[in-house]
Amino acid sequence: MKLDPIQTFVEVVRAGGFTVAARHTGTPRSTVSLQVRMLEETLGVRLLKRSTRSFALTDEGQRLYEKASSAVDDLVRALDDLRVEDGVLGGLIRLTVPADFPTALLASAITSFTQAHPAVRFQIMSTNAVLDLVRDNIDIAVRVGANPAQTAIERRLLDIEWAFYASISWLGRKGRPENISELEDFISPQPVLRGYLEKHVLGGVCLPAGAIEVDSHAMARDLMLNGFGVALLPQGLCQDAVMTGSAEPLFPQAGLRPTRLNLTFPNRADMVPRVRVFADHIYAHFQGEPSVGHRRSSQRGNGHLRSINHKSPVQA
């Protein structure tokens, strides 16, 4: 029995479909479908129940996936480790970041890494979905304030500072509020992020009712700059607006707490050299890049990122 059909079957299940699996593997969809069908014929059982838009695992398919998925990962890691004996890193790194994550710094880190290790490929997913690192086969997740699974490894990058912001035009119409409870026209994040901010950034203080609810820091910032209302945002996202005088921070006495930006990756990925080396590379890139406007971390990890914004504390 060849291993390719088994690897393809595992990828189809993880990806949730033949089309996505074909995109992940760089294989034509017809080849993916053929390999799964060949595997079923070899085993003499039906593994998937198919329709035009979806599929479901049969009992036999579920049992095979549970047994084969970890074994396939072990085999891929073993082959990767053999390739590293010649000092050459190769293979795919699957990286997920929040949808609002700034792309310039990440693109710089990936470009410099691939120049040094041209055999390494990347697949980057910018999403607000809560992805399971193991089930969704994620090598590295950039997350803010996430609580990793017991088996996951978390590496602190930087701290993100927060502030309330209002545009000069809005302040001219409404005046400067004295405290958070007096806020009008609050641009509210969605419930999951709102609850996270209330607990971890405001220390239990409730945010006011929202005049509008948004799922993007970039949208909240632009609404604020256009005079819609007040937004609670990462300081780096509003740095330019404050410098040009189009927006001002509010409530300097509020004592908002920073949130932590982390690299999170599962134990199984930590053993793959390309992932471990890239984790070191992106960490050094974040610490050593002066143009993004952050203070470098001390040995105790007290760095503060001034230009990173995030989507959700539970994004993967």
Answer yes or no: do 149 and 9 share one domain. Answer: no
40 found inside a domain: yes
Query: 146 and 167, same structural domain?
Result: no
Tokens of 241: 């607006």
Domain CATH for 17: 1.10.10.10
- Asked whether residue 14 falls in the same domain as residue 66, the answer is yes
Domain that holds residue 228: 162-254
- Residue 314 inside a domain? The answer is no
Same-domain status, 29 and 47? yes
Last residue of a domain, one of 84, 119, 135: 84
27: left (phi over 0), alpha (psi -120 to 50) or beta: beta
Are 127 and 243 members of one domain?
Answer: no
- Of 211, 231, 254, the domain-final residue: 254
pTM: 0.61
Regarding whether 152 and 101 lie in a shared domain, the answer is yes
CATH (domain of 101):
3.40.190.10
Q: Which two tokens stand for residue 135?
A: 């089930």
CA distance linking residue 112 with residue 109, whole number of Å? 5
User: Is the domain of 139 the same as that of 286?
Assistant: yes
Bridge partners, 121 (sequence order): 92
Same domain? 190 vs 126: no
Quote the pLDDT of residue 288. Answer: 72
- Which residue type is seen at 195? G
Whether 229 is in a domain gets the answer yes
Domain count, the chain: 3
Tokens at 100, concatenated: 């609002």
In a domain, 59, yes or no: yes
pLDDT in the model for residue 251: 93
Within a domain: residue 129? yes
Alpha helices in the chain, H assignment, sequence order: 4-15, 18-25, 29-43, 59-84, 103-116, 168-174, 191-196, 217-225, 235-243, 267-270, 273-288
Q: Are residue 109 and residue 40 in the same domain, yes or no? A: no
Same domain for 194 and 235, yes or no, is yes
Of 84, 114, 143, which residue constitutes the final position of a domain? 84
What is the reported pLDDT for 157?
82
- The answer to whether residue 72 sits within a structural domain is yes
The count of other CB atoms within 10 Å of the CB of residue 33 is: 18
pLDDT at residue 300 in the model: 34
Any domain includes 312: no
CA-CA distance, 124 to 140, in Å (whole number)?
10
Q: What's the pLDDT score for residue 44?
A: 92
Q: What is the pLDDT along the chain (316 residues), one digit of tens a residue?
A: 567 888 899 989 988 888 888 888 788 989 999 999 999 999 999 999 887 677 889 999 899 988 888 888 778 777 766 655 566 888 889 998 887 777 788 899 999 999 999 989 999 988 877 677 877 888 888 887 655 555 567 888 888 899 999 999 999 999 999 889 889 999 999 898 899 899 999 999 999 999 999 988 889 999 999 999 999 999 988 999 999 999 999 998 888 999 888 888 886 545 678 888 898 898 888 877 433 333 333 333 333 333 333 333 434 3
Q: Could you tell me if 149 and 227 lie in one domain?
A: no
| pLDDT value, residue 148 | 53
Residue 265 domain-assigned (yes or no): yes
Instruction: Give yes or no: residues 214 and 145 share one domain.
Output: no
Tokens of 263: 């690299």
Q: What's the rounded Cα separation, in Å, for the pair 80 and 32? A: 23
